[in-house]
């Protein structure tokens, strides 16, 4: 449990907030490169109107693009879940509701990470 002595210092047995703060910034810097790359490929080199199954299948014929997308998936989810956790901590004041919301958040993130990674691993073009 975090302690807030009157001198403004903070003591906590858990370093969760510290790591959350740090990982936000680390993932942010990584994302600057990954998201920029993703947007350039999807919206500038190509165009949304060109995106379809064939386009994705072609991209994922290269393991490098699968790897890139995997990094993108993991890093955006981590950055996002940390961010939304911080925001919900600030605005969902009722403890029980906050636990429920944040648990749901973690579950959704894990499900998306697992399903997204699975498809990157086992997708094979058909049709």
Partner 1 sequence: MYRGGEGQTAFYLHRFTGVGIFIFLVLHIIDTILVWWGPGLYNQVLAFYQTPAFRIVELVLIAAVVFHALNGIRIILVDFWESGTQYQVLLLRVVVAAFTLLMVPTAYLLLLPLFQEGGP
Cα–Cα distance for residue pair 26/52, rounded to 1 Å: 32
Minimum distance, C-beta of residue 107 to partner 1, in the bound complex (Å)? 12
Instruction: Read off the tokens for 57.
Output: 């299948």
Which lies closer to partner 1 via its Cβ, residue 3 or residue 104?
104
Tell which positions 12-41 bind partner 1, by CB under 8 A.
25, 28-29, 31-32, 35-36, 39
**Distances, alpha carbon 71 to alpha carbons 77, 97, 106, in Å:** 10, 32, 19
The stretch among 8-16, 50-58, 94-102 that binds partner 1 (CB under 8 A) is 50-58
- For residues 25 and 83, the answer to whether their CB atoms sit within 8 Å is no
In Å, how far from its chain's centre is CA 108?
A: 11
**Distances, alpha carbon 75 to alpha carbons 5, 54, 59, 100, in Å:** 35, 26, 20, 24
Cα–Cα distance for residue pair 112/100, rounded to 1 Å: 18
Counting contacts by CB under 8 A, is residue 73 touching partner 1? yes
Q: How many residues lie near partner 1 (CB under 8 A)?
A: 34
Which lies closer to partner 1 via its Cβ, residue 51 or residue 100?
51
Residues contributing to the site for partner 1 (CB under 8 A)? 25, 28-29, 31-32, 35-36, 39, 43, 47-49, 51-54, 56-57, 73, 76-77, 80-81, 83-84, 87, 108, 112, 115-116, 119, 123, 126-127
């Amino acid at each position: 449990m975090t302690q807030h002595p009157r001198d403004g210092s903070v003591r906590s047995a858990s370093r969760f907030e510290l790591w959350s703060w740090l990982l936000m910034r680390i993932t942010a810097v990584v994302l600057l490169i990954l998201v920029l790359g993703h947007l350039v490929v999807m919206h500038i080199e190509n165009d949304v109107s060109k995106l379809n199954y064939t386009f994705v299948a072609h991209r994922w014929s290269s393991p490098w693009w699968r790897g890139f997308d995997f990094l993108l998936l993991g890093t955006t989810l981590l950055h996002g879940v940390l961010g939304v956790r911080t925001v919900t901590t600030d605005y969902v004041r009722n403890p029980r509701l906050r636990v429920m919301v944040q648990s749901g958040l973690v579950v959704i993130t894990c499900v998306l990470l697992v399903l997204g990674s699975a498809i990157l691993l086992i997708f094979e073009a058909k049709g």
